A and B are shown apart, each in its own frame.
Chain A
Amino acid sequence: MKKQLKVLALMLGVAGLATSAAHAQDKVKIGFITDMSSLYADVEGKNGAVAIQMAIDDFGGKVLGMPIELMSADHQNKADIAASKAREWIDTQGLTMVFGGTNSGTALAIAKVAAEKKRVYINNGAASSALTNDQCTPYTVHYAYDTVALAKGTGSAIVDGGGKSWYFLTADYAFGHALEADTTAVVKAKGGNVVGAVRHPLNASDFSSFLLQAQNSKAQILGLANAGGDTINSIKAAKEFGIGKSMKLAGLLIFISDVHSLGLRNTEGLQFTTSWYWDLNDETRKFSARFFEKTKRMPTEIQAADYSATMNYLKAVEAAKSVDADKVMTTWRGMKMNDFFGSGQLRADGRYVHDMYLMEVKKPAESTKPWDYYKLIKKLPGDSVFTTKAESKCPLWK
């Protein structure tokens, strides 16, 4: 009896695993892996999938005669889960391309899997410039923004405005380190200095002790090298401890969802760089209205990028007449892109070069309608803010 039970148990298990071993190449499957439940859930999350699906629907739901299917998963900010999911989908579900990875650690992990298995990988959420620099691959597309652009945009503006001495509050992983390093380079190049830095664990619950250390450094500027929930909590705690009286806060990566969560009272005057804003022009407003109808929230730059990148990817597939990653990437690099998100081209290192915008958060009195949070200070041409050829260590771009 025991043996029968054992065999039965194992057979059930194996049967359960073998659910879809057959992968026919008669569907185009897009895999979306991002943070759906933790500190980055609002900047991309489930609504990112909504944006991608909108693009799929607008494209017609089919490409090269094959229906397009979207699968999503939550990587919980764990690189091992992200990489395993990507690998499993490619091996057993016939995944055509991978999307996502908000969180630079997971993005780098997925990029490796995508390169190994030759699948196109589009990333909007992660910021680490390493994705198109020393860790570039022929299949990675870094679409929206990266730490270099953020550093050059915001860092330059603040140092030019008089903020010469900096102290960093850094999220202790790939993204935070990259942002701190890139901003430090910009500050130093402009004659400023970095007094010190303190690293906090990802998704920390209490920032008080870190902020006190920052305050004791007597620096002028507190650079927040973190994002999403961490930034929201840093700003809240900074208010609580009156940090604003002696230091100015520099948000190096701010999303509209952060401002919405904190309110204009807590964020007014904050200067930062972004790749897109819903209220820039008629085209952006049109897309945002549609998005708002589905989600009741205005899209963040990442969600807008998700739509735009999907559209352009499908266009590239159509033009290449194939889903083969090499062919698609070659075709895509030759395409000129122009839509409500931006205009520009894909570089050899996978970087989408387009304009960025230096923004400032409005005062509560200046805001006239819901989600009216930013005012444009300056448009930053793409070539001036992204990594230059001289700075790049990517072997694909020589």
Chain B
Amino acid sequence: MEIFGVSLPGLLSQLLLGLVNGSFYAILSLGLAVIFGLLNVINFAHGALFMTGALLTWMAMNYFGINYWLMLVLAPLVVGLFGVLIERLLLRWIYKLDHLYGLLLTLGLTLLIEGVFRSIYGVSGLGYDTPELLEGATNLGFMIMPNYRAWVVVASVVVCIGTWYVIEKTKLGAYLRAGTENPRLVEAFGINVPVMVTLTYAFGAALAAFAGVLAAPVYQVTPLMGQNLIIVVFAVVVIGGMGSIMGSILTGLGLGVIEGFTKVFYPEASSTVVFVIMVIVLLIRPAGLFGKEK
């Protein structure tokens, strides 16, 4: 059966693959949205934190023999701690300033982190093997789906829904949201806002690292892997609405699927379709699809 001259299996397989990419977009843009929502900082370092998570996973396996499953927990913890350091030592000086400085500072951080790893490992990819449990593939009829990629989608969706639930439905999340709206008032209620802010950044960083661990067996682990992803993720956050959690998740997944779709008909454009959509959305609905104008 053919749709627009492309076979149905071909279409479905690319869409499914797009869902895998979309999962990465969703987790990363979720972290970015959370950080922007509370700290009002555009965290350009998100890509570098993602890369650090993947690289730590590789290093753990190669130097210490620590397996993948452990790293799923360890890497976010380590990077989260690193995030605490970043927030305490660097970010807190620039909150009162223009957005620009937050962006520039985190951009500088990105270059620093990438530069350090780059001088040690070069730019070519480091291979990371799929964990044994998830090796192999399932024949879905229209394509052979590697089990690992299916796991990526499942893990991402679970983490995203979990995060959304915590932020929107729990007391902790309520404090967070209140802290975004009116930090002074929340502090007056006795809630330690600065600590909350630090933990939020750490959590965002941990999310990025989690995505990194998931990515290690899929993409080539290289110091530059975050660079290519970060501007797309930015676009996702902007399209979804800069402060909206659900917006980021849905837009991330959706965009991954649209990218997959584009790969079938006009593969070269797949990396640019996000930006075309972003321009259109920004011109029609400046606050994003799910965002509220601040």
B-contacting residues of A (Cβ < 8 Å)? 36-39, 41-42, 76, 198-199, 203, 205-206, 208-210, 212-213, 215-216, 228-229, 232-233, 236, 240-242, 245, 261
Contact = CB atoms under 8 A, between A and B. Distances in A.
Nearest to A241: B144
Interface string B259-273: 010011001101000
Nearest to A218: B7
B267 A209 contact: yes
Pick the 7 closest A-B CB pairs, nearest first. Answer: A37-B122, A216-B10, A242-B144, A38-B123, A205-B219, A212-B13, A209-B263
Of A198, A205, A241, most B-chain CB atoms within 10 Å = A205
Nearest to B143: A212
Contacts of B137: 240-242
A39 B125 contact: yes
Given A199-B268, A212-B13, A212-B143, A205 B122 contact: no
Given A38-B122, A233-B220, 4 more contacts: A39-B123, A39-B124, A205-B125, A208-B20
Contacts, number: 74
Contacts of A37: 118, 122-124
Contacts of A240: 130, 137, 146, 148
Nearest to A208: B17
Given A205-B222, A209-B267, A241-B137, A216 B7 contact: yes
B277 to A, nearest CB: 19
A38 B124 contact: yes
A226 to B, nearest CB: 14
A198 B124 contact: no
A198 B264 CA distance: 11
A213 B10 contact: yes
A261 B127 CA distance: 9
A212 B17 contact: yes
6 contacts: A203-B123, A206-B219, A212-B10, A213-B14, A216-B9, A261-B127
A310 B181 CA distance: 69
Given A38-B124, A213-B267, A261-B127, A206 B218 contact: yes
B6 to A, nearest CB: 8
Of A198, A216, A228, most B-chain CB atoms within 10 Å = A216
B interface, over-half SS: helix
Contacts of A261: 127
B91 interface: no
A241 B206 CA distance: 30
A38 to B, nearest CB: 4
B35 to A, nearest CB: 25
Given A41-B122, A208-B17, A241 B228 contact: no
Contacts of A242: 137, 144
Interface string B111-139: 00000001000111101001000000100
Contacts of A232: 127
A236 B127 contact: yes
Nearest to B221: A205
Given A240-B137, A241-B144, A242-B144, A216 B125 contact: no
Contacts of B218: 206
B249 interface: no
B225 interface: yes
Contacts of A245: 144
Interface string B1-15: 000000101100110
Nearest to B223: A37
A266 B18 CA distance: 26
Interface in B129-182: 130, 137, 143-144, 146, 148-149
Contacts of B263: 209, 213
A127 B82 CA distance: 45
A209 B137 CA distance: 16
Given A37-B122, A38-B122, A39-B124, A209 B260 contact: yes
